[in-house]
Amino acid sequence: MAENLNLFTSTQEVVKEALNKLGYDEAMYELLKEPLRLLKVRIPVKMDDGTTQVFTGYRAQHSDAVGPTKGGVRFHPMVSEDEVKALSMWMTLKCGIVDLPYGGGKGGIICDPRQMSMGELERLSRGYVRAISQIVGPTKDIPAPDVFTNAQIMAWMMDEYSRMDEFNSPGFITGKPLVLGGSKGRDRATAEGVTIVIQEAAKKRNIDIKGARVVIQGFGNAGSFLAKFMSDLGAKVIGISDAYGALHDPNGLDIDYLLDRRDSFGTVTTLFENTITNQELLELDCDILVPAAIENQITAENAHNIKATIVVEAANGPTTSEATKILTERGILLVPDVLASAGGVTVSYFEWVQNNMGYYWEEEEVQEKLYKKMVDSFEAVYTTATTRNIDMRLAAYMVGVRRTAEASRFRGWV
C-alpha cells in the first residue's frame, strides 16, 4: 500500500480508528472528519513600494462542542486549505488530551514574512483580523502564534480587534507580549511541555536524562529552547539541525555557543563546514530523537534505520502512519505530536484564563500547573496504550477525541 503523506487524510484515518475503538458510530466520524467551519479570505495590503498585493488567508474551526475553538495562525508560503484543516483537527485532539475547555482552530496566510518589512507585516496582520472578525473572539475562537508569527504580530492583531470591538480585548488572542496581558512562560511553553514528556518517557524506559544522548531536528523556537533545557538537565545534545543542514558531535555540542550564534530564523549550520544532512541526523545512534522541524521526516523509507530508544515528536506530523507502525513494532517508544507539543496550548489557556479574570500569575505557578497537566496527560495516554495494546498515537487520539465526541453527543448533534 502506498504511504499516505497527506496530513489531512492521514489524520482522518487515525480519528476514524480512534472513534471505532471508543465505540462511536459512523455519524460521529462524519461530524468530526472535517472542520465545522472554514473561512477563506482575501486580504489586500498596501506594500511599501506603493503597489497593492492581495494575500489569501484561512481560518478553520474544527469543533466548538466543548467550548471556543483555539489555535495558531501561521504565515508561510506553503500554507494550504488541507494543512489548516488538519491542524485544526490536531488542536481539538491536543485540547482533549490536556483536558482544556476548547475545540481546535487554526489559521494561516500564504505569504513569505522573510521577504516583508515590519510595516507590511503589520498591515497584513491587521487586514487578516478584519477579514475573519465575524467568527473570532474571546468566547468564539482564540488565535495564537504559530510558524513565523510572534508576540509582536499577536499584539497588532489584538489591537486591531480591540479597535473594532471598541474596548480592550486581551482575551481575543494569546502569545501576546507580557505588557499587553501575555502570560509568563508562554514563549517557552511548547519546549517545556516536550521536556516534561521526555522525562516521563525516559522513566518508562529506565533512561537517566543526565548523560542521555539527544538528537534534535530543528533549531527554531521549540528546538532551540528544547536543546537548552536538555543540556541544562545534563543530557548530551549530540546533534541539531536547521533548514540548511545538521551538526553532530558524539561528545555533545556546545548549545549556549550555538544559541548565541543563530539568527532570528534559527539558522546556525551555515557557519560550519563539516555539516551532515538532515537524513543522516535522524539516523544517528542516540537515546532520544526529537523531530522538531516539519512533517513527514520519518517515513517507511528510513524508519528501520532509526537508532533511538525514544522518539518524541515536537513538530507537527513528523512521522507517517506507516513509520509509526514500524517504530512501534521495533519496540521504540513514540510520543506523538498531539501529546508532546501540547504545552503551548496549555499555557495559552492559562493566559486566556488570566485575561478573563484580570489577575496574573508568577512564572512558578504557570510552570507548576503546566507540569501537572503534562504529566497527567502523558500517564493517561501511556496507560491507554499499554492496557489496550496499541501504539501511543492511536492512544493519544482516543484520549483526545473522547471529550469532543461526548460533548457532541450531549448537545444532541449526533
DSSP string covering 218-257? --SHHHHHHHHHHHHTT-EEEEEEETTEEEE-TT---HHH
Domain presence at residue 389: no
278 a known binding residue? yes
Q: Are residues 303 and 243 in the same domain?
A: yes
Q: Are residues 192 and 163 in the same domain?
A: no
What DSSP state is assigned to residue 6?
Answer: -
| CATH code (residue 224) | 3.40.50.720
Domain presence at residue 288: yes
Domain presence at residue 205: yes
Helix, coil or strand: residue 64:
coil
| CATH code (residue 78) | 3.40.50.10860
Q: Are residues 266 and 209 in the same domain?
A: yes
Q: What's the order of all strands across the beta sheet hosting 37-46?
A: 37-46, 52-61, 103-110, 69-76, 141-145
CA distances from 407 to 24, 65, 88, 380 (A): 13, 6, 17, 19
Report how far residue 361's alpha carbon sits from residue 359's, in angstroms, rounded to the nearest whole number: 7
Nearest to 383 by CA among 342, 344, 339: 339
pTM of the model: 0.91
Active site residue 106: yes
300 a known binding residue? no
Question: Are 145 and 183 a contacting pair, CB within 8 Å?
Answer: no
Q: Are residues 275 and 137 in the same domain?
A: no
Q: Are residues 274 and 243 in the same domain?
A: yes
Check 16, 33, 85, 106 and give the catalytic one. 106
Domain presence at residue 206: yes
Helix, coil or strand: residue 209:
coil
Q: Are residues 199 and 242 in the same domain?
A: yes
How high is the pLDDT of residue 197?
96
Q: Are residues 207 and 335 in the same domain?
A: yes
Domain presence at residue 321: yes
316 a known binding residue? yes
**Neighbouring C-alpha atoms within 13 Å toward the C-beta of 208:** 3
Stretches where the chain sits below pLDDT 50 are 1-2
Number of domains in the chain: 2
- Which residues are CB-contacts of 170 (< 8 A; sequence separation ≥ 6)? 158, 176, 180, 181, 355
229 a known binding residue? no
Query: Phi, psi at residue 360, to the nearest 5°?
Result: -115, 140
Q: Are residues 288 and 320 in the same domain?
A: yes
220 a known binding residue? yes
Range of the domain at 41: 35-167
How high is the pLDDT of residue 1?
41
Q: Are residues 273 and 197 in the same domain?
A: yes
How high is the pLDDT of residue 185?
86
Q: Are residues 223 and 84 in the same domain?
A: no
Q: Are residues 208 and 112 in the same domain?
A: no
Long-range contacts, 31-36 (Cβ 8 Å, 24+): 31/63, 31/408, 31/413, 31/414, 32/62, 32/63, 32/89, 32/92, 32/401, 32/404, 32/405, 32/408, 34/85, 35/60, 35/61, 35/62, 35/63, 35/85, 35/88, 35/89, 36/61, 36/62, 36/63, 36/64
Q: Are residues 196 and 257 in the same domain?
A: yes
